[in-house]
Amino acid sequence: MVHQAKTPSGARRRGVLFDVDGTLIDSSYIHTMAWWGAFRQYGYDIPMASIHHYVGMGGDRLVDNLLPGDRDRSADAEIMASHGALYASHWPSLRAFEGVKELLAQCHAGGLAVALASSARHRDLEVMKGVLDSDAFIDGATSANDAKESKPSPDILVAALEAIGVDAADAVFVGDAVWDMKAAGALGIPCVAVRCGGINAVELREAGAIEVYEGPADLLQNLTSSAIGRLIARA
């Protein structure tokens, strides 16, 4: 159970959780390429389209879903390490989507606690936080070290809620992948989806998204009428 933090007025604290890869940072296809390269290094030729479908799921689950069940699993950790190294080689290319800093700032200004609910490796998260350049608007952040089970398990969202002292009933989650929607749904958190990670609106809605926007700039433009806006307006 999350211990509720109170605002100066005594009201329950409200918060918004953001996935990072593919939601705030344009990295979904970089991850796809990194996984593709890692698999090929170990003799697996997996189509990029198949890989992209699972990006946003925890790396351990992604590997298990894409590789043969009768494989030698002793190499899985090495494949994941290879993916990490290939992804890190693209750090200089990482960019935030248009409108991200302004979106985080508006959420913060609206009185919401803001958390980055990321399951990225800690060092990748630190790099991405530097790209976001929005620490003044971020109240908490998680990495893979904060969750026992990866998405679509909700563990990382539980950790993010605990980091900002907010209950699931007082939060909204923003993500780009089917696995984000499923993780939020497991906790009953309303999930707002963005399409900038490359997943279509139909799949996102079928997975549980209550709203779908093209990206952070579109969400920012419609913030007042969104689930986030309604959370800000709650007394």
Catalogue all structural domains in the chain, each as residue range(s) with its CATH number. 15-26+95-233 (3.40.50.1000), 28-93 (1.10.150)
How crowded is the C-beta side of 161, counted as CA atoms within 13 Å? 23
Nearest Cα neighbor of 151 from 71, 212, 207, 68 is 207
pLDDT at res. 3: 43
DSSP string, the chain: -PPPPB-TTSPBP-EEEE--BTTTBS-HHHHHHHHHHHHHHTT----HHHHHHHBTB-HHHHHHHHS-TTS-GGGHHHHHHHHHHHHHTTGGG--BPTTHHHHHHHHHHTT-EEEEE--S-HHHHHHHHHHHT-GGG--EEE-GGG-SS-TTSSHHHHHHHHHHT--GGGEEEEESSHHHHHHHHHHT--EEEEGGGS--HHHHHHTT-SEEESSHHHHHHTGGGSHHHHHHH--
Say how far residue 222 (Cα) sits from the centre of its chain.
20
Tokens of 159: 């950790």
pLDDT at res. 1: 38
Identify any residues that bridge with 96 across adjacent strands, giving them in sequence order.
25
Model confidence pTM above 0.95: no
> Rounded to whole angstroms, what are the CA distances from 173 to 37, 49, 101?
31, 26, 17
Rounded to 5 degrees, φ, ψ at 160 are: -65, -40
Cα 171 from Cα 180, distance rounded (Å) = 14
Taking only the tens of pLDDT, the chain with its 235 residues reads: 344 455 555 568 999 999 999 999 999 999 999 999 999 999 999 999 999 999 999 899 999 999 999 999 999 999 999 999 999 999 999 999 999 999 999 999 999 999 999 989 999 999 999 999 999 999 999 998 888 888 889 999 999 999 999 999 999 999 999 999 999 999 999 999 999 999 999 999 999 999 999 999 999 999 999 999 999 998 4
